[in-house]
Amino acid sequence: MRKPRPQILRRLWAAALAALALASAAPAADQPDQQARPKFVYSLTATDKIRVTIFQEDDLATECRVDAFGNINLPLVGDVHVAGLTVNDAQKAVETAYQAGRFLRRPQVTISIDEYAPREVSIQGQVKEPGRFLLPIESTFSVVELVTKAGGFTDIAKGSDVTITHIGPDGRKTVRKVDVQGIIQGKSSAKADDSALLLEPGDIVYVPESII
């Protein structure tokens, strides 16, 4: 029997290595991105300026702002509450209002946002540039990003004990503590839901001083 030539053996060895590399890389491509940003869905809020149209009902089209109570005032049906709703849910709320009032049998409502309300959060305490910051429109914004935007922690900050105060539409106040330093450093002790936490308009972030 003739022995394989050295050139053939080298080619077979190179092909085997290439196949092994592809096999080891394939599962990684199928794994979900652990750092993927949470999907953000905008909710209507007070002072948003919106346009409401109804298919084949041009006389009912209107432009209005969401008032302080979270309502919009529409022809025939009056006030409809939309604050806190996504655009799709607000469209359904308007359709329901016209159906419930027996003005339209099957209305097809379209809502578009002409002007967004100012959306701000504030950060206080041991950061280099405390103050108020605008939230990006139709995008996510985390507490880590806010700390970064505020210049980062000072040398005496206790980044593991950051508090976020949120006041809901009903006036109820909730306070949550977040280990921002742990998230930044990638510590295993950092909670996954803290990493995914998104700030909401009006949130107040406070970074305490570390007591030695």
- For residues 158 and 110, membership in a common domain is answered with no
How far is the C-alpha of 89 from the C-alpha of 94, rounded, in Å? Answer: 9
pLDDT at 12: 57
Q: Which of 134, 148, 145, 143 lies closest to 162 in space, CA to CA? A: 143
pLDDT in tens, 78-95: 999 999 899 999 999 999
Domain assignment present for residue 177? The answer is: yes
CATH code at 179?
A: 3.10.560.10
Least confident stretch, 20-34, 70-84, 95-109, 127-141: 20-34
How far is the C-alpha of 74 from the C-alpha of 93, rounded, in Å? Answer: 12
Total domain count, the chain: 2
pLDDT in tens, 20-56: 554 444 444 444 344 455 567 888 988 999 999 999 9
Domain assignment present for residue 33? The answer is: no
How far is the C-alpha of 115 from the C-alpha of 113, rounded, in Å? Answer: 6
Which residue range(s) make up the domain with 200? 120-207
- For residues 151 and 106, membership in a common domain is answered with no
32, amino acid identity = P
Exposed/middle/buried for residue 154 (C-beta within 10 Å: 0-12, 13-18, 19+): middle
How far is the C-alpha of 133 from the C-alpha of 201, rounded, in Å? Answer: 10
- For residues 158 and 99, membership in a common domain is answered with no
b/e 67-92 (16+ beta carbons within 10 angstroms → b): eeebbbebeebeebbbbebebeebbe
pLDDT exceeds cutoff 60 at 19: no
Backbone angles phi, psi at 48, to 5 degrees: -60, 135
pLDDT at 33: 40
- For residues 171 and 194, membership in a common domain is answered with yes
The answer for residues whose C-beta is within 8 angstroms of residue 75's C-beta and 6 or more apart is: 59, 60, 62
- For residues 201 and 143, membership in a common domain is answered with yes
Six token digits for residue 67: 């008032």
Backbone angles phi, psi at 87, to 5 degrees: -60, -45
Domain assignment present for residue 25? The answer is: no
How far is the C-alpha of 105 from the C-alpha of 74, rounded, in Å? Answer: 17
pLDDT exceeds cutoff 70 at 1: no
Categorize the per-residue pLDDT at 138 as very low, low, confident or very high, splitting at 50, 70 and 90: confident
- For residues 162 and 175, membership in a common domain is answered with yes
- For residues 128 and 172, membership in a common domain is answered with yes
